[in-house]
C-alpha cells in the first residue's frame, strides 16, 4: 500500500487529492458572494475542503516579483503541511502532478512555473522522490483510457484508439469530457464520483465546468490514474 496524491497546480485554484480526499486552495473572493458561499462552492462543500489563499498587492515590478515569491512559498508550505497531515507516514508516498500548459499567456506561465517549481522541490525534499509529471495533453488521453474501451480501427492489422461514449477522441477532451470520464467509469465508486453523478444535469447545463469542480476533477483523475497504476 502507498499514499497516493494527485495535484493540479494553479495560481488561484490548486487542487490536491490525497488518498481520495480533496482540498482546493482558492481565493475567498472566488468562493463567496454577498449571500455566502457561491452556488458551486456550496454544492461541493461536503466533498471538497477549501483553504483560502491571499496575494498581497505591490507597487512596482521588482517589489512584485519578491512579494509573489514569498506568497508562493507560503501557499506551497500550506500544501505540504496539509499533505503530511493526511497521509500515513509509515507508508511510501507516490505523487503525480499536472505539468504546464504552454498555451497560457507569458506572464501567467512564468508565475506558474515559479509556483510549481517551489511545490515540486518541497515534495521531493519533504515527502517523496516518487513523483511523476503528467502533461496536460497526456492527462486528457489517460482520462479517456482509464474509462473507455479501445476501439480497433485497423483494417489489415490491429490499430486501436480511445473515444468516449459520444465519439470524442481522448486527445480532443475538454474539461467536460474529463468530467464525463469520471461519472461514466464503473470502476470509480466513491463519495466524490457519486456526488458528480448526482449533479450531472446541473454541470452539463453550463458552458464550462465551474470551479471548484474544474481543478478538483483534474486532481481526482490524476489520483485515480495512480490508484489504477496507469501512470
Tens digits of pLDDT across the chain (231 residues): 999 999 999 999 999 999 999 999 999 999 999 999 999 999 999 999 999 999 999 999 999 999 999 999 999 999 999 999 999 999 999 999 999 877 666 668 999 999 999 999 999 999 999 999 999 999 999 999 999 999 998 888 899 999 999 999 999 999 999 999 999 999 999 999 999 999 999 999 999 999 999 999 999 999 999 999 998
What is the dihedral sign for C-alpha 174, 180, 182, 184?
A: negative
- Report the chain's terminal Cα–Cα distance, integer Å: 16
Query: In which domain, by residue range, is 65 found?
Result: 3-227
Query: The cell 515527502 sits on which residue?
Result: 127
Tell me how far apart the alpha carbons of residues 182 and 223 are, in angstroms, rounded to a whole number: 12
- Reading phi first (left if > 0) and then psi (alpha if -120 to 50, else beta), residue 19 is in left
Tell me how far apart the alpha carbons of residues 210 and 224 are, in angstroms, rounded to a whole number: 21
C-alpha cell at 209: 465546468
Measured between alpha carbons, how far is residue 33 from residues 36, 37, 47, 210 in Å?
Answer: 5, 6, 20, 15
Query: The cell 454577498 sits on which residue?
Result: 34
- Reading phi first (left if > 0) and then psi (alpha if -120 to 50, else beta), residue 87 is in beta
Q: Which helix H or strand E contains 26, and what residues bound it?
A: strand 21-27
Structural domains of the chain, count:
1
Tell me how far apart the alpha carbons of residues 170 and 163 are, in angstroms, rounded to a whole number: 6
Amino acid at each position: 500500500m502507498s499514499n497516493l496524491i494527485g495535484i493540479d497546480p494553479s495560481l488561484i485554484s490548486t487542487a490536491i487529492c490525497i488518498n481520495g480526499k480533496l482540498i482546493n486552495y482558492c481565493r475567498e473572493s472566488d468562493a463567496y458572494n454577498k449571500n455566502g458561499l457561491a452556488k458551486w462552492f456550496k454544492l461541493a462543500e461536503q466533498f471538497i475542503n477549501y483553504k483560502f489563499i491571499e496575494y498581497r498587492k505591490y507597487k512596482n515590478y521588482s517589489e512584485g516579483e519578491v512579494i509573489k515569491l514569498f506568497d508562493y512559498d507560503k501557499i506551497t508550505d500550506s500544501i505540504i503541511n496539509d499533505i503530511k497531515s493526511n497521509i500515513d507516514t509509515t507508508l511510501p508516498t507516490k505523487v503525480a502532478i499536472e505539468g504546464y500548459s504552454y498555451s497560457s499567456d507569458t506572464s501567467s506561465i512564468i508565475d506558474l512555473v515559479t509556483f510549481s517549481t517551489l511545490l515540486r522541490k518541497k515534495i521531493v525534499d519533504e515527502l517523496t522522490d516518487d513523483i511523476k509529471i503528467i502533461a496536460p495533453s497526456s492527462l486528457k488521453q489517460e482520462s479517456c483510457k482509464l474509462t473507455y474501451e479501445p476501439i480497433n480501427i485497423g483494417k489489415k492489422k490491429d490499430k486501436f484508439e480511445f473515444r468516449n461514449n459520444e465519439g470524442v477522441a481522448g486527445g480532443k477532451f475538454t474539461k467536460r469530457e474529463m468530467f464525463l470520464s469520471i461519472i461514466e467509469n464503473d470502476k470509480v465508486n466513491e463519495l466524490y464520483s457519486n456526488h458528480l453523478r448526482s449533479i450531472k444535469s446541473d454541470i452539463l447545463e453550463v458552458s464550462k465546468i465551474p470551479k471548484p469542480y474544474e481543478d478538483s476533477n483534474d486532481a481526482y483523475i490524476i489520483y485515480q490514474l495512480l490508484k489504477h497504476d496507469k501512470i
